[in-house]
Structure 1
């Protein structure tokens, strides 16, 4: 519920929630926010590891999209979703990175994408799709140079704007 409804972990310690749980099942012991945080993080690690394993055994290529924006607090963020088709021909979309970036320069964006690909062990990239911002031209050029020195599976990579 905390993850699906994007609730704060402290929600489990609110009076109304505790009363609701006691009404539904008086034997249920409501976890603390520390326990809820630990359990959600453990679930995240488990899901991340399963996805890494899926990427290693994937027979198809992965397509990426990326976007950066600046928040109302003047902080820059980048999101990197991966799109892929599994062996049963099911389309999947997973956000593999959501991180702050130091700015919108092409080299910073390119390095952030490259770092993420290295962390996930992704080498079978088919395409990277970005919007038409000038900094993305530079990010694409950076990635093209870096991806060309990776393993031979990347020699056919197309990076589109």
Structure 2
């Protein structure tokens, strides 16, 4: 600033002349929105959508970090407590979504369904029902109608009544149901037959059973046991994870974590095996450096078995993904895929090990 310049002339030359707020506007800026105001309702609805869409716990709205975030975004908004969201906001959002879906389903002439029974992490039983239909724009639609708590005995008669009630609660006529897809559980199969509904087997479940059957070889069972122990050794030890990362860097291997198998998903078993084979050298180096875990390092026989298994299952992984789509009618893929399995994918080749040939010979049984 020049010696002869005054503060006022300096602000004028820069064009930054602050404007003093009026008393009214100052009070408005700190006055909370009315609960009935559009702005307050819009934000509350957005928070409700966030909780539902991302499946966040209701306690989120009472956490200091989340409340501070909301306050910074709009200081005039007062965030309700979890009781309001659980008793009012979320039920209202559910009713709006349900009403919209019910209106869409009224125009559906024919539909198919998928149902499954499963247990939560706390071993609580649930039944899910999903509807598949073609809308007025000739687009295939899939909507999960419900995942309902099902504490009753899972007898065929009770399951049959549960499916009937589920359709009725959405105003869906059994006469308009083309078919229902389920797994091969004896109770659900009988439940569907009691209703005289057309039933399709779940290809993914059939594939899982076929692959499970091909894994009963004692050599595979031993190698799988070793594989699981290796993964556990790294999963429960931060030191082993750290050493694995360092060794991966030294050996120029991908910085990938080991994968844990899920017993009900054959694809996770395949992924676990493939990752162990990818990181074989790093795993062996880390385990061998510790006398307590040296015995866990897979032997060359175990590696041979895992490679045989992986070679047989590799092609099936791609088909599983293709047959799990919701934007196309996957049942139309089945016959071409099964033909491809038997004529090309699962045909033994010259460099296959005997174990790989055995697995390939068993897998086509999924079409039976």
- Give the alignment's TM-score, normalised by structure 2: 0.38
What is the alpha-carbon distance in structure 2 between the residues aligned to residue 6 and residue 109 of structure 1?
27
Consecutive unaligned residues in structure 2, runs of 5 or more: 1-49, 202-368
User: Which residue is equivalent to 1:17?
Assistant: 66
Q: Which residue of 2 aligns with 1:96?
A: 145
1:125 aligns with 2:177: yes
Instruction: Quote the Cα distance in structure 1 between the aligned partners of 2:57 and 2:121.
Output: 21
> Secondary structure, in 3 states, of the residue corresponding to 2:159?
helix
For residues 45-69 of structure 1, give each alpha carbon's deviation from its aligned partner in whole angstroms, at most 9, with x where no partner exists.
111112112212223x111111112
Give the match for residue 2 of structure 1: 51
Specify the alignment match of 2:199 in structure 1.
159
Shift of 1:72: 4.7
Query: 1:148 — aligned with what?
Result: none
> What secondary structure sits across from 1:65 in the alignment?
strand
Query: Which residue does the alignment assign to 1:147?
Result: none
Check the 8 A contact 1:64/1:128 in 2, yes or no: yes
Question: Which is richer in strand?
Answer: 1
Mean Cα displacement is larger for which, 44-53 or 101-110?
101-110
The secondary structure found in structure 2 opposite 1:107 is helix
Per the alignment, residue 161 of structure 2 pairs with 111
2:142 alignment partner, SS class: strand
Q: Which runs of 4+ in 1 moved over 4 A?
A: none
Equivalent in the alignment of 1:49: 99
CA RMSD of aligned residues (A): 1.7
Change (3 A) 1:72 1:32: closer
Q: Counterparts of 1:71 and 1:24 in 2: how far apart (Å)?
A: 36
TM-score w.r.t. structure 1 length? 0.83
User: Cα 1:56–1:131, aligned 2, differ >3 Å: closer, same or farther?
Assistant: same
Secondary structure of the 2:52 match is coil
1:58 paired to 2:113? no
Residue 117 (structure 1) shift:
0.8
Q: What SS does the corresponding residue of 1:87 show, helix, strand or coil?
A: coil
Q: Is the radius of gyration larger for structure 1 or structure 2?
A: 2
For the residue of structure 2 that corresponds to 1:3, the secondary structure is helix
CA distance in structure 2 between the partners assigned to 1:73 and 1:26 by the alignment: 40
Gaps of 5+ in 1: 145-156
1:150 alignment partner in structure 2: none
How far 1:131 sits from its partner (Å)? 0.7
Count of matched residue positions in the alignment of Structure 1 and Structure 2: 148
Residues 137 and 43 of structure 1: is their aligned pair in 2 closer, same or farther, counting only changes over 3 Å? same
Alpha-carbon distance change, 9 to 71 in structure 1, aligned in 2, over 3 angstroms: closer
Relative distance call for 1:114 and 1:89 in structure 2 (3 A) is: same
